[in-house]
Amino acid sequence: MTVATLDLSELTAEDLDAVTAIEREVSPLPWSRDLFAGELTLTSAQRLWLVGRLHGRVVAFGGVMFVGDDVHVMNLAVDLAHRRRGLAQVLLAELLRRSVERGARHTTLEVRRENDPAIGLYRRFCLRPVGLRRAYYDDGADALVLWAHDIDSPQYRDLLDRLRGQGAGRS
């Protein structure tokens, strides 16, 4: 199975069970179904959520929050059976591309300090550490604060296209 068959679409209420199942599988502190459902009640000026499907089955999801011209990556996950295939890279590239279309100029996120695979992914998107939030997570884990600026530039758009293509080319 290759990433080239990944179908990206906006999250709908019909996707909530699958998204919640992935979240419980991969997160030490999973979001609840109700929390995801609440996200669907917000406007497109406030949020953007995408799901990725392979052969019709949801295997990945991600969501962002818009604050002025900043976009905050809130959650990004791939089910365990489909990791290391470039899915998160394709998904994040599309989230950021669509965010720029909605006026985003900068992006930020928090990531568990010990989550080396995620930090590696975010570095490919030029997200750099700018700070540390001690005991950010409910379990007491610290979070690195990452930022990338000028994501609306032609150079960053080229980077997004390149990363999406590299992700799609993996098997």
Show the tokens assigned to 71. Answer: 């976009």
Amino acid code (one letter) for 5: T
Is 137 one of the catalytic residues?
no
Instruction: With beta carbons less than 8 A apart as the criterion, state whether 114 and 104 touch.
Output: no
Set 23, 39, 94, 110: catalytic member: 110
Set 23, 39, 94, 122: catalytic member: 122
Q: Give CB contacts under 8 A, 24+ apart, made by 71-78.
A: 71/96, 71/99, 71/104, 71/106, 71/107, 71/108, 71/151, 72/107, 72/108, 72/109, 73/107, 73/108, 73/109, 74/109, 75/23, 75/31, 76/118, 77/22, 77/23, 77/26, 77/27, 78/22, 78/26, 78/52
Q: Known catalytic residues?
A: 110, 122
